[in-house]
Structure 1
Amino acid sequence: MASGGEGVTVWYQREVALKSRSRGCHYITDEIHKACAEEINKIKVGVANIHIKHTSASIILNEVSKEKKDMEMVLNKVVPETLHYKHTLEGPDDMPAHAKAAMMGSSLSIPITNGKFNLGTWQGVWLCEHRDCGGELSLF
């Protein structure tokens, strides 16, 4: 039998509401950690599964850079808004946003070590809003 909680499996789940963001890539590592600090601080070895409940935004790991406009420029070249999409019910930026979100993903798994995200030196969590007017955002 393990002593001191060693070998015991513990699960935490928390939904975090984020303020809506403008189009672009936004660094949110510290915001997530702060919102979940009570749970994360208790974990010696674990994994955080972060999932965004939004189909026109994505969540990624990437370099913590001050110049996030480059990522937006690249995304707009890969999925231009100037094409004639059939899905335009919510506006001309809707279908391109869904395509960008599908390419970049909606979930991350981040190791937790001694109560902190165990990320590389330059890594951070980015929320990428692909629409001009982003809506309410939730992370699990």
Structure 2
Amino acid sequence: MRFYQKEIQLPEFSRGYHLITDLVINEIPEIRNIKIGQFQAFIKHTSASLTINENADPTVRMDFETHINKMIPENMPYYKHDYEGADDMPAHIKSSMLGCQVQIPITNGRLNLGTWQGIYLGEHRN
């Protein structure tokens, strides 16, 4: 059994949800050599998240942003952690709710995602 570990630097993203599947695959060519395995991505960021969802229609990502902002609004009077602005604490909550990692099976050198699935990076700060 072989294990590969690689740290990659993603470009900066604006607030919102961004498909990063191709970026990840291009940075980790070793995936092509794995017949059966597991891929795990982990983000070292406390105000961003990783999740898997619709990869075709960009309005899904827009709806994610709209809905989560209604669920976890800014400027709530009970937030104590607001050192870096109104989006600071809500971004941490969003990151924890969605998570900081995804795990995907690898089958015959490819991430075994569904036809309409992709990896999202959720950037929760302005």
Distance across 1 between alignment mates of 2:75 and 2:85: 12
Match of 2:16 in 1: 24
1:127 matches 2:124 = no
1:43 matches 2:37 = no
Distance across 1 between alignment mates of 2:104 and 2:32: 14
Higher fraction of strand: 1
Distance across 1 between alignment mates of 2:116 and 2:76: 35
SS in structure 1 of the partner of residue 33 of structure 2: coil
Matched pairs, number = 123
Match of 2:62 in 1: 69
Cα distance, 1:79 vs. partner? 0.1
Q: Deviations over 1:20-69 (max 9, x none)?
A: 100000000011000001x1011000000110000000000011121121
Distance across 1 between alignment mates of 2:50 and 2:32: 22
Letter in 2 for 1:72: E
* Structure 2 length-normalised TM: 0.95
Match of 1:4 in 2: none
Alignment equivalent of 1:34, drawn from 17, 26, 39: 26
Q: How much identity, in percent, do the aligned residues show?
A: 50
Letter in 2 for 1:53: K
Alignment equivalent of 1:78, drawn from 67, 71, 74: 71
Give unpaired runs (5+ residues) of structure 2: none
Distance across 2 between alignment mates of 1:72 and 1:120: 22
Cα distance, 1:89 vs. partner? 1.0
Cα root mean square deviation, aligned: 0.7
Distance across 1 between alignment mates of 2:103 and 2:25: 14
1:113 matches 2:113 = no
Give unpaired runs (5+ residues) of structure 1: 1-8, 133-140
